[in-house]
Amino acid sequence: MQRTCPRAATLVALALVAGCSRTTRAAQPAAIRLADEFESGRIAGTLPDAEPGEPIVWRFDGPPPEPIVDDDAEAGAEEADQGATGEDEGEAPDAEPELDLTATYGFEAFLDVEDLAVTDGLLVGRTGPIPVLRVAVEAEDSDDILHSIRVRMRVSAGAKLSLLLLEDEELDRERTLGRLRRRNFWMLSADIEPGDELRTVTVDLSHVPSEDIEDIRHLLLQPTDAEGATFAIEEIRFVSRREHLASIPSGIAWQGLAEVYRETLVLRAPETFTQETVLPSEPWLDLAIGTIEPQPATFRVTARRAGSDEVATLLQRTVTTPNRWEKVPLDLAAFADGRVELVFAIESAVPGTIGYFGTPVVRNSAGEPEGAGRTEAGVPRGVILILADTLRRDHLPMYGYERDTAPTLARLASEGALFLDNISQGTWTKTSVPSILTSLYPTSNGIVSARDRLPMSVTTLAEVFQEAGYATFATSSVFFTGKLSNLHQGLDVLHERSSVSDLDHSPSKTARTFVDRLTEWLEERRGGPFFAFLHVFDPHDPFEPYAPYSKMWSDPGAKEAHEAAVDKINEWQREHDEQVRDTPKEAHIVAAGVSKEEFVARELDWYDESIRAMDTEIARLLERLESLGLADDTLIAFISDHGEEFLEHGRHFHGKTTYGDMTNVPLILWGPRWVPPGTVVEETVQSLDLMPTLIEIAGLRVPKLAQGRSLMPLVTGRGTWSPRPAISERRRPDFDRVPDEDDRESFAIVEGGYRLVHNFTRPEGMPEYELYDHVADPINLVDLAAEQPQVVADLAAKLEVWRKWAEASRIEGGGEAPLLTAAELEVLDALGYGGGD
């Protein structure tokens, strides 16, 4: 172990200061979550179910509809005919008759569907390689969001049904068809079971950004993923949020308004919910209210002490603006240290009006986290995990970068612990962030591709803190880090990326907005413990920052020059039927006649400027912690999920390889009472080690399934630390239908100063194994595999044992994991993975 830190006396001094500065509190819970006690409460005043509004449904058993001539379908027919006859682009084709979709009730065989017809009340057809149906959606009058789509159907073969919703007024057929053929970009899907019986398949949209029904213009449906199958569809139904809520009892649910989500008590006027609980010494009710309905709704909360007839009205608030949260914290001091009956009520002139009571939690300003073990320095009142997306550590000054891109982070590193060699387990956000927040490798937590979701049995970092009584908060700068991946588990409040309106400067620069929201939330905490996950996106492309940072290092004419270069490259890409991207491959840049050196230089200037802009917002957060009196009582961790490639290996972007430019990411710990200032850790560590570290500092219990280890022995010099390899994974995403010519799936292992890359699926001509000097060649440009065959063999054997262990540890239903031999278990134990415990 290589490490530098102050002498142990510093730790003793810190502990003494902490002991003098913190008032001893009685052992009281920090929070009483009414959602956890919901079963003991009671709902009254429920009315008979009301009929939902007019549904959007397609059936095929009624009389034929009015004649349907679809302009988009007509254009598609002309384009298809022109291509089939081989006419030159400049020649005008003969006029085609309008495409009449009346016989198929408005449905078009958009791609690879044969014999489409309506027979005996069913829409039937036969599938080709990529079968897609399309229908126009007319729902401009709807004022609700889409909760799910139900399809009643049967298929002869296949495993998955997929859907796509498009908002384009005029469908760009060429672009859409090209995307379908090249990319499997279906983000909405459900499993299907082939057979002769009609079955109802439900595609749930509750885990993706909300879709306003009125904005939907086209529905694309892939009835099955099997070629040569037959299908028969009886009904397709859009289920609105209102229809869904009308179908379930009132109670606790995860609900959002304007894409800010809370664990919520849902009531329908004139319902009431009554809950008895024993209040602590300094109680207040953490609450937000809102409605999805346009009609006024009055929210009431009353309290009555046990044994008393006197009822106190704590809240009476009429809401007239739907789809927004109104925060209404309520003081419960008058009822402290006693049993109280709380009543929540919703009233409206329109029976059945829905009311949301968001995050109904009794907080205790005098409480301590439950289950927190005693530590010399005490436990932190607050824990903040800041994750900067797409941030390479070699662009930060504390890692030796020549530009002063992050003075605030550099200060945190000098005042805390800097980890010089932290390795990410994933190479893109979807796989990396869940690994950080669960302390599980992607292979083990099951999230390896775009549509994967975290098993509910997995414990997240937020859940550990929430169960201990911490208030929990998170921002998600891309939908991969929110409810799409089940990462809302354990959160009181989640701000999805779609909660932020279009930013004027760039869609990727979220730090300013989300720091504003976090600081506002911190101001409401009233002294109780809190955990916050701040996910910011500023280093991600588009790289160009906003003013005044846009001219720190870039030339005044950089924007115009870069836009001209991108236009030139995009034109070449279109001419050669390549995917059009503003972050192109090196080969495309060169082929288009653009200087790759100048192209990348402009990007790097912007990248560095965006980092500096983000750093300024982090400084603003620290300033607010100081003014709130929280700075000395808050633990802060800073990390990135993955890096970014700037043509080091011939391409841009991330998620394609397991080289160092993808996985060498920063890690900083800061906390005046827990982290000795000036600590520098040279040992190789992994991002999944962060979760156990934060939990240990907080004195809480690390989940049994966690695969990472606390880094505190490296930080404090106390306890034992056994080095073990760092592992990174890259699986081919499920949306890559046509892989790049150099696409590969790979694992990487870092140990003993080397990085071994195992390309276990790869194109012809690519080596199976690559070996790099991890210290001298951190970006991995010089392959040493031919010179060091024994090192390759040794690391390959260890990597294979790790792979089998990680697969055996997978937390998901179905399938049998491969067994490990006794010899492999011994190797596993030597690697530090517990031998199969």
Half-sphere exposure of 769 (CA within 13 A, CB side): 21
- Supply the pLDDT for residue 39: 80
Residues 153 and 194 in one domain: yes
542 preceded by a cis bond (ω within 30 of 0): yes
**Mean pLDDT value across the chain:** 88
Contacts (Cβ under 8 Å, ≥6 apart) of 642:
389, 390, 424, 426, 427, 428, 429, 432, 654, 655, 662, 663, 665
Is residue 497 domain-shared with residue 637, that is, in the same domain? yes
**What pLDDT was estimated at residue 836?**
34
Counting the structural domains of the chain, the total is: 3
Q: Is the pLDDT of residue 26 over 70?
A: no
The CATH number that applies at residue 276 is 2.60.120.260
E strands, 440-565, in order = 471-475, 493-495, 530-536
Can you give the C-alpha Rg of the chain in angstroms? 29
Separation CA 32–CA 272 (nearest Å):
20
CA 350 from centre of chain: 37
Per-residue confidence (pLDDT) for residue 16, from 0 to 100: 34
Closest CA to 482 of 238, 732, 686, 254: 254
Same domain, 539 and 617: yes
Out of 303, 333, 364, pick the residue that ends a domain. Answer: 364
Give which of 441, 524, 456, 529 is closest to 487, Cα–Cα. Answer: 456
Model confidence over 582-616: pLDDT tens digits? Answer: 889 999 999 999 999 999 999 999 999 999 999 99
Instruction: Among 33-47, 450-464, 530-544, name the most confident range.
Output: 530-544
Last residue of one domain, picked from the residues 212, 228, 244: 244
- Residues 821-831 have pLDDT tens digits of 555 455 545 55
Q: Do 62 and 163 sit in the same domain of this protein?
A: yes
Same domain, 191 and 213: yes
- Please give the pLDDT value at position 555: 93
Look-up: residue for tokens 């590969």? 744
Q: Are 86 and 8 within one domain?
A: no
Instruction: Quote the strand ranges of 213-338, DSSP E.
Output: 218-222, 230-240, 251-257, 260-268, 272-278, 283-290, 297-305, 312-319, 326-327, 330-331
Contacts of 488 (CB under 8 A, 6+ apart): 254, 261, 474, 482, 494
pLDDT over 60 at 628, yes or no: yes
Out of 92-96, 113-117, 396-400, 567-571, least confident range: 92-96
What pLDDT digit, counting tens, does each position of 612-623 carry?
999 999 999 999
Does residue 407 share a domain with residue 356?
A: no
pLDDT tier, 8 (very low <50, low <70, confident <90, very high otherwise):
very low
Taking residues 418-446, report their average pLDDT.
97
Q: How confident is the model over 223-252, as pLDDT tens digits? A: 999 999 999 999 999 999 888 888 778 999
Q: Answer yes or no: is pLDDT of 217 > 70.
A: yes
Confidence of residue 705 (pLDDT cuts 50, 70, 90): very high
Q: What is the pLDDT of residue 412?
A: 99
What residues does 295 pair with on adjacent strands? none
pLDDT digits (tens, 9 = 90+) for 88-130: 434 444 444 567 888 999 999 999 999 999 999 999 999 999 9
Long-range pairs of 752-758 with CB within 8 A, sequence gap ≥ 24: 752/791, 752/795, 754/784, 754/788, 754/791, 754/795, 755/659, 755/660, 755/780, 756/791, 756/792, 756/795, 756/796, 756/799, 757/657, 757/658, 757/659, 758/796, 758/799
SS3 721: coil
Mark which of 207, 226, 244 sits at the end of a domain.
244
Judge whether 688 and 678 are in contact, CB under 8 Å: no
Residue 79 pLDDT level (bands cut at 50, 70, 90):
very low
Residues 650, 747, single domain; the answer is yes
Angle 382-385-389 (CA atoms, 0-180°, nearest 5)?
160
Contacts of residue 9, Cβ cutoff 8 Å, sequence gap at least 6 = none
Residue 768 has pLDDT above 60, yes or no: yes
Q: Are residues 541 and 600 in the same domain?
A: yes
Q: With 80 as the cut, is the pLDDT of residue 814 above it?
A: no
C-alpha closest to that of 211 among 235, 182, 241: 241
Whichever domain contains 461, its CATH number is 3.40.720.10
| pTM of the complete model | 0.85
Q: 82 pLDDT exceeds 80?
A: no
pLDDT of residue 270: 97
CA–centroid distance for 478 within its chain: 6
* pLDDT confidence band for 70 (50 / 70 / 90): low
> What would the mean pLDDT of 523-551 be, rounded to a whole number?
95
Tell me: do 260 and 281 sit in the same domain: yes
What is residue 431's predicted lDDT score, i.e. its pLDDT? 96
pLDDT value at residue 178:
77
Question: Whole-angstrom Cα distance, residue 110 to residue 460?
Answer: 42
Higher model confidence: residue 516 or residue 164?
Answer: 516
- Domain range for 144 is 56-244
Whether residues 379 and 502 fall in one domain:
yes
* pLDDT tens digits for range 11-23: 333 333 333 334 4
Same domain, yes or no: 347 and 441: no
pLDDT at 577: 78
DSSP string, 184-228: ----EEEE---SSS-EEEEEE-TTS---BGGG--EEEEE--S-TT
